Amino acid sequence: LQALVARTRPDVRVGAAAALGPLSADADYARQLIGEFGAITPENAMKPQSLSPLPGVYTFEEADALLDVAESRGMAVHGHTIAFTEAMPGWMQDLPTGSAEDRRASADALLDYVTTVVTHFRGRLASLDVVNEPFDVDQGTDLQQNVWYRTFGPDYPVVVSRAVHDADPDVAQFINENGADVPGPRQDALLDLALRTNELGGHIAGVGLQAHVYDLGTDAISVEDLTDTLDTFGAAGLQVRISENDVTDAEGTDAQAEQYVAVLTTCLRSPTCVAYTTWGVDDRYDWFVDEDGDLQQGHDLLFDDGDPTPALEAVRRA
Ligand code: XIL
Q: How far apart are CA 237 and CA 205, in angstroms?
A: 8
Q: Work out the end-to-end distance of the chain between its first and last CA atoms, rounded to an integer number of angstroms.
A: 11
Query: 315 pLDDT exceeds 90?
Result: yes
Whether pTM exceeds 0.90:
yes
The alpha carbon of 208 and the centre of ligand 1 are apart by a number of angstroms equal to: 14
Q: Domain residues for 87?
A: 2-317
Residue 193 · residue 175 · CB < 8 Å: yes
**Other Cβ atoms within 10 Å of 49 Cβ, number:** 16
Q: Is 300 in the pocket of ligand 1 (CB under 6 A)?
A: no
Strands 13-18 and 273-278: parallel
Q: Is 244 in the pocket of ligand 1 (CB under 6 A)?
A: yes
Q: Report how many domains make up the chain.
A: 1
| Helix, strand, coil % in the chain, rounded to nearest 5 | 45, 20, 35
pLDDT tens-digit map of 235-291: 999 999 999 999 999 999 999 999 999 999 999 999 999 999 999 999 999 988 888
Q: Is 36 in the pocket of ligand 1 (CB under 6 A)?
A: no
Runs of H (alpha helix) within 19-126:
20-25, 27-36, 48-51, 61-72, 90-93, 100-121
pLDDT tens-digit map of 31-82: 999 999 999 999 999 999 999 999 999 999 999 999 999 999 999 999 999 9
187: CATH: 3.20.20.80
pLDDT tens-digit map of 166-175: 999 999 999 9
ipTM for the assembly: 0.99
Q: Is 43 in the pocket of ligand 1 (CB under 6 A)?
A: yes
